[in-house]
Structure 1
Amino acid sequence: MEDKTLLTIALIISSLGIVFLFFIVQFSSLESISLDNIETVDEDTTIKIVGTVERISAKENATFLDISQKTTITAVIFENVSVQKGNLVEITGKLSEYKGEKEIIVDVLTIAKP
């Protein structure tokens, strides 16, 4: 095949791949859940919540955030984070249980409103 034909085919396939990835990202986004419904969610499920930071506790290897809506859940993040009490945050992570209490192991933390 000619170089021009190969280039055209490569550009078409690349463009289709980018469009395909765009649609995958759009349709795979998580919906935020309410903490009122957290008991119905299975452990190790990836969830997204939006809530207010009520308490921050920094330890050597982790930071613990108490996130509240009508109820409160602890979010554990294993990296440095600059968040303050009262910040509205969006958290995506895996639901876990520690000592009989539900908590979220944070993958992504976004400050929605300082």
Structure 2
Amino acid sequence: MKQMLLTMLQGIGFSSGITLVFIAANHMDIGFSDVIGIYFFGAISGLLSIIYSVDRIPLPLQLFIHLFGSVVSFLTVAYLNQWLPLEVAPLVSSIIIFVIIFLIIWALFLISNIQ
């Protein structure tokens, strides 16, 4: 239970930090529902990282489960908060950017855990 809470809070921290960078870079305004969405997404993504503690599952499958669940969570929050239009080009570009950021953070955690 403690690990679940810790990973959720860590996910909220990462999602909030990344969002602050995007807000500052794009001079955006956000509302209360946006903040709740960011926290929800971060908590889900953080919670999904518990999959790495299951030794029976190979690492590539763990990564896929975490990434897929995080993308679904992101798209759900983006849809509910109307961050993205339901058009192919913006959705695909947003998913690509999301996956790149996700993989960078994942690689940093992997390197940190190896050391």
**TM above 0.5, one fold?**
no
Which bracket does the TM-score occupy, shorter chain normalised?
A: under 0.3
Q: Which has the higher strand share?
A: 1
TM-score calculated relative to the size of structure 1 = 0.25
Q: Which has the higher helix share?
A: 2
Larger radius of gyration: 1
TM-score calculated relative to the size of structure 2 = 0.25
Higher relative contact order (CA 8 A, sep 6+): 2
